[in-house]
Each structure stands twice: as C-alpha cells, then as structure tokens.
Amino acid sequence: MSYGLAGCGKVKAPVPEAGAQVIEREGLRVAFAVSPVGRPGEPVKAGEIARLSLQITNSQTGKPVSGLYPAAWIDPQSGSEELTQESCRAAAGMYLSGYVGVRPMIDLNSYYLVVLNEDPTIAVIDPIVGIKGITKLLTQVILPARGEDWAPSLDQKKVFIALPTADAVSVLDLDTFRLTSTVNVGDKPNRIAVQPDGRYVWIGRVGIEPGVTVLDAVTDKAVAQIETGEGHHEMAFSKDNRFAFVSNRDSSTVSVIDIRTLKKLRDISFDGAPISLAWSDLSEVLLVVDGEEGAVHAIEVPGGKTRSRLDLEAGLGPLRMMPGGRYGFVVNPSEDKVIVFDTATMREAHAIAVPGRPFQVSFSRNYAFVRSLESTRVSMIKLSDIGGKNVPTVTGFEAGERPPSEAPRLLPSDLFAGAVTEAATLAVSPGDATVYYYMEGMNAPMGSFRNYGHRPLSALVADRTIKEVSPGEYVSAVKIPASGDFKVILTMDSPQMIECFRFSAERNPLIEADEAPLRIAFETRSGSIVRTGEATTVRFRLTDTARAGAPANREDVRVLTYRAPGQDRTEQTVKPVGNGAYEVTFIPQQDGAHYVYPAVDALGLTYAKLPFLTVIARSDTLPVKGTP
C-alpha cells in the first residue's frame, strides 16, 4: 500500500466525533462525521456551514494515516433509494466520467477556475474536465457592469467585484456561482482588498470624492466612507489588523486609517508618486514604493516616520512579498528588471533581468512568475535561489502568441491563479483571450482554455478540495443548501476505495422566510443513461414550503430542456399526475448531457431558480439499471 503512517508512534490518532459512521476497508478505518461549524455534535440545519470530517487510521495499529487524497461528492438521498455498494460505485463512476452537466449537488473533489472577463461577465471553468478535452465552461455570470478589480473573502466562499461605471461592488457566491448582492459604494470604485482577518473589504474610489469605502465582509453592507486623497489607490494592512494604509498617487500621500474606529489618523507625504504598498511582517513596517523617485521606503506606524530607505532606479512598479515575508520583489518595466530586496536590512539582494517590460509578479511554492507587457513569455524565478550569492535561475514558458500589451485593457488584478491540487499555475493571456494550464517542470503549457468569445483579464481559483488538517484528519467546510437526507460518495485511488455515507439536515426556521416557495424532488436519478432518439420521461414532485411540505398541485409548471452547453433549447409539455407529482417526456436527438429545468413563473421561480436534473443520452449503449 502506498499510504503512510503519520509520525513515529508519538502522533495521537484523531478521535472520531460522537455519532460518526465507521467503516473498515483495505486496512483503513474511516470515521465520517458532519456537524455545524463551531457546534460539534449538534444536528446540521439547512443553510448552515457544515464541517465534514474523515478520521482515517490504520485498522490494525490505530495510528493516523497521512498523505491520502480522498475525493467526495454530496447528493440528495431519496427515502426510497437504497444505499448499496453497487449504487455507490455507479454514482462515483458517473461523476468521474467527465460529462458536462453531470454535477453533484456539492463537489468536494477539485477546484474551478473563475475568470473575470473584459466584458461584463465572469466565466467559471472546470480545468480538470477541460484538460480531458471534453469541455471547459461550467457557467457564466452576467455582471451589472464591467469589472475592474476583484478579491475573494478570507474563507474563499465569495468574491467582491468592483464595478466603476456602476459605482458599485457585486458579490459572487463561490458555492453557487450566483450574484447575491450589488452594493452602491460611491463614485468609480476601481481597486479592492480584503484585510488579513477577513472582517472588512476595502474599496478604492477615484471619483469626485476620492477615498475608500469599507464593507462588512459578512453582511456585505457599507460601514464607512473615508476621504483620503487624489489619484489611484493601493491598499495594505498591518498584520494585527489595527491599521489600513491607502496610497493616493496624485496627492503623493499615503493615508493611515485606524481600523477599530474607521477614522483616518494622518497622511504621510512623499516627494514622488507612491505607486505600491506592502506590509512587512518581519520588520513590522509599511513598505512604500515611490515610482518617480525610484525608492522603497520603510515607514514606522502609526507615527509615519521613515525608518530606512532603499534607493533604486526611477520607474519602479508593483511590489509583491515573497512567501515567508523576508524578501520583496519590485518590478521596473523601464529597466527590464525585477529587483529583490531583503526587508530585514533594506538592501538589494538581486537585480534580475526580465525582458519585455515586466509589470506583475505572482508566487507559487517554488517560483515567482513574472509577466511582461511586451513579451509572450512568462518568466519563472526559482525561489530557492533567493538570498544566495549567485544570480537566481530564470526559466519560463510561452503563454500565447500576443503579449498583454495587445489586449484592449489590463486590470490591476492577477494574471495568474495557482492550481489547488498540484504544482501547476493557470496563466491568463489577455492578448490571446486564452487561459493556459502550466505544470511546473514542463517546457510549455499542457493545455489551454478558450473562453467562448470572451476575453479573460484576471483569474482566481474556487477551492472545493478536502484537506488534511492534522495527521489522519481530512476536512472540508460546505454550505448545506436545504433540509433533507443526503449521501456522501467517497473515493480514494490508493488504496482503492469507494464508500458512501449518509447524513441529514434539519429545517432551519431562521432561513425559511428566504426559502423558495416550492421545493422539488426528482424521482429520476440525475446522470441517468438514456438512449439517443428515444422518448425519455423525467418525474419530479413539488411541495409547498409554506404549508410544511404539502403537495403542490399546479397547472402552470413549465420545463425547459437543452443539450450542453446550450443547444436545442425546447420548452416541453408538463403532465401533472396528482399528489404534487409531474412528468415531462422529451426525445434527446443527439448524444451528450441534456439539462431539465422546471419553472413556476407565477411564484418567481424562473428557470435556474429551482434545482435541475441531467440525463446522459448515448447511442452506443442501452439504459442501465436505475435509469428511467
């Protein structure tokens, strides 16, 4: 077996939660439990964030087993459905097949690439399925206006998007990929940042009254508007979340703000243009890059006194801190250089030649990725070389045929997104309107994702993976969308294992007022295999939320069917069969995944407001057991 025992006998095995479901297979003992975040042992309720835990130990020694990579999915469990080894394997095989549209209710297995486009849209791409060559685009989100910058919340559950032409910030739920709110924040917001503890979201504004607007990251409500100064704003924060710093490029100042009172304390003046900010955890100073002067200032806070200064060459650009916090990387596009300096001594450590006017730096565990305006090549600086006596090794790869400077516009947001489960990076090429997938150690990208006519300008990752948080303990946090019974489908490659677990979520009176007026339960299993060209019947039931789940008998139920990714859209005739049950019959004319979307317009339940179902049409096989 290729898994390993954690530690050398001194590591305590994880203790299963009360009520955990336990199975033993392939030399492993797996204990599954689910509970509300912060309330272990209590029942889960609809709408709550739940903690899913897998405690994995050696079944003979009891020692925790580390280094495993469990994959899991969550689906509704109907009362009549028997949870057998056969049905569990069938469900796992369906989700591993790679068909578009075959999606569980909750996917705990991978990550999605979220792309901010040049037009008012956000694309959600499945990079794993895309690499298989089957499909890439999961969904698209339409924004009220074009996005200029964005930042995810601390828990990675939502992302805030600045919309300058709408004077607003939109909030995208990264679990459902739907906009949950759009908040007016003042004139022309164009920069956005989340403070280290995740409590507040800071939005830079460049309109008539320039400054920052502060949002509560939980309620998405504006809690303060603070005037700072003229010009573009960059933001940084002290590690202890006591102070926020806002640069005012045209005013040649940096504003210091007390986060506890949300009041400006003072403005620090500079001779040139403060173009970039970063906080040094090691030195506990604010680092300010003055692009005109060509200097990096180390500023003591809150007083604003310059502790030290590193003089470089004029034309400096953005500053990024290397993981660990000791070294800063600052680009100089006019000199084709990336300067690395030691924040402890405020001395230059390396001046690294990077051709093509470098303008952005991003980090993985092993490399600094540098994008240049006039070059198609992404330069890679080996981080293990930083601080040594020799010039750091620089390698790279080609990301497209057109450099970023050929894009209609560029954003201050990152052009790189680090993959979650492997040493890989996703690089946005705005000039080519393409996202490239690069595995570290390769000479070229392994694949690319075109964006169905949209031009990508920035990217981030929505993490859905299960992580090992302590030896033998694997955890994920998910929002349970509704009450009812659910099944968790668990797979592992080494050792090979497929198992299913069950849990329930209670009704939640606190959110029932926000629930849809109807609930839907499909009697047809999502992902069922049907024959292309033959009639397929889908059955579902509707219940009335306000009447404690009583059957909803209506004459105005509609159903839309279409083939992924959006073809053959047809409104079908729905047949009520009594006691809240309905049938719809249609003929899938081509192989592929076909969506079934119910709607009840009179109750505001338009298409996509209710859960949908997917069936797989195939001409090369007969329907299998369990399909309609």
Write the secondary structure of 506-574 as one string of H (helix), E (strand) and C (coil).
ECCCCCHHHCCCEEEEECCCCCEEEECCCCEEEEEEEEEHHHCCEECCCCCCEEEEEECCCEEEEEECE
Give the model confidence (pLDDT) of 513-549 as tens digits: 446 788 888 888 777 788 999 999 999 989 887 776 7
Per-residue exposure over 617-627, b if at least 16 CB sit within 10 Å of its own CB, e if not: beeeeebeeeb
CATH 2.60.40.10 residue ranges in the chain? 4-106+466-506, 516-618
pLDDT(100) > 80: no
Name the class of domain 4-106+466-506.
Answer: mainly beta
Give the pLDDT band of residue 15 (cuts 50, 70, 90): low
Q: Tens digits of per-residue pLDDT, 567-610?
A: 788 999 999 999 899 999 999 999 888 888 899 988 888 876 77
Question: For 211-225, how does the pLDDT look when each residue is reduced to its tens digit (9 = 90+)?
Answer: 999 999 989 999 999
Decide if pLDDT at 161 tops 50.
Answer: yes
Span 26-63, pLDDT tens digits: 899 999 999 886 677 788 888 777 888 999 999 999 99
pLDDT in tens, 584-594: 999 999 988 88
Is the pTM higher than 0.75? no
CATH, range 516-618? 2.60.40.10
Query: What whole-number percentage of the chain has pLDDT above 90?
Result: 57
CATH 2.130.10.10 spans which residues of the chain?
Answer: 148-269
Average the pLDDT over 173-196 and give the result: 92
Q: Is the link from the previous residue into 495 a cis peptide, with omega within 30 of 0?
A: yes
pLDDT confidence of residue 135: 43
Report yes or no: 467 and 111 within 8 Å, Cβ to Cβ.
no
Domain 148-269 has CATH 2.130.10.10: yes
Residues 6 or more apart whose Cβ sits within 8 Å of residue 346: 296, 298, 308, 309, 310
* Res 423: pLDDT: 75
For 257, the token pair is: 């703000």
